[in-house]
Amino acid sequence: PPEINDIEGHPSSSHQTLKGTSKWATSLESLLEDPEGVKRFREFLKKEFSEENVLFWLACEEFKKTQGKKQMQEKAKEIYMTFLSSKASSQVNVEGQSRLSETILETPHPLMFQKLQDQIFNLMKYDSYSRFLKSDIFLNHKKSEEQEENSPEAQTAAKRASRIYNT
């Protein structure tokens, strides 16, 4: 049988893939894969005065994709000065012995921040993330999503779609 695609041309499946807050609630990884989820999580962390954690995590993800030694050196120095140096403007709370010395910045490699990034990820996962799922930011976003799904427009669109596929 011919493959059925959704509006964007992606193969459609009989079970709807999770979206928005439902997806965010499955894991911190799922939340961080969704730009809207990251935005809401940042909003939450800002209120908790710990936004630097997710900013550091995101900077490390970007850093891993950096090509060329010069760009890597610049980006590594930027990450170090912003998040890891004792004078950092948005210093992250990582264990002292795993802090990097500035000398490592001369010979950067894609995974040089991995250990620190993992520490921050675990800090977010076992601390901030569970509070985020109980926060007004998350719960209000979830409520507005549910209201959209239950709106008459959404239901008529679903009925139209089912009529198209069930003919």
Q: At residue 12, does pLDDT exceed 50?
A: no
Measured in Å, how far apart are the chain's first and last C-alpha atoms? Answer: 14
Give the pLDDT confidence score for residue 113 in this predicted structure.
Answer: 93
Contacts of 154 (CB under 8 A, 6+ apart): 148
Give the pLDDT confidence score for residue 99 in this predicted structure.
Answer: 60
Neighbouring CB atoms inside 10 A of 97's CB total: 5
Indicate the residue type of 29: E
Give the pLDDT confidence score for residue 13 in this predicted structure.
Answer: 42
Q: Which residue has the higher pLDDT, 7 or 110?
A: 110
State phi, psi for 154 to the nearest 5 degrees. -65, -40
| CATH class for the region spanning 23-137 | mainly alpha
Q: How confident is the model at residue 40 (pLDDT cuts 50, 70, 90)?
A: very high
Q: How far apart are CA 151 and CA 5, in angstroms?
A: 24
Give the pLDDT confidence score for residue 14 in this predicted structure.
Answer: 35
Q: CA distances (Å), 97 to each of 66, 116, 139, in order?
A: 26, 11, 38
> 11 has which bridge partners?
5
Report pLDDT digits (tens) over 64-78. 999 998 999 999 999
Residue 93 has which token pair? 């709370």
Burial of residue 124 (number of CB atoms within 10 Å: 0-12, 13-18, 19+):
buried
> pTM, whole model, 2 decimals?
0.77
Q: Which of 144, 128, 148, 146 is nearest to 31 (CA)?
A: 128
Q: For the chain, give every domain's residue range.
A: 23-137
Q: How confident is the model at residue 166 (pLDDT cuts 50, 70, 90)?
A: low
Q: How confident is the model at residue 157 (pLDDT cuts 50, 70, 90)?
A: low
Give the pLDDT confidence score for residue 103 in this predicted structure.
Answer: 77
Average confidence score pLDDT of the chain: 84
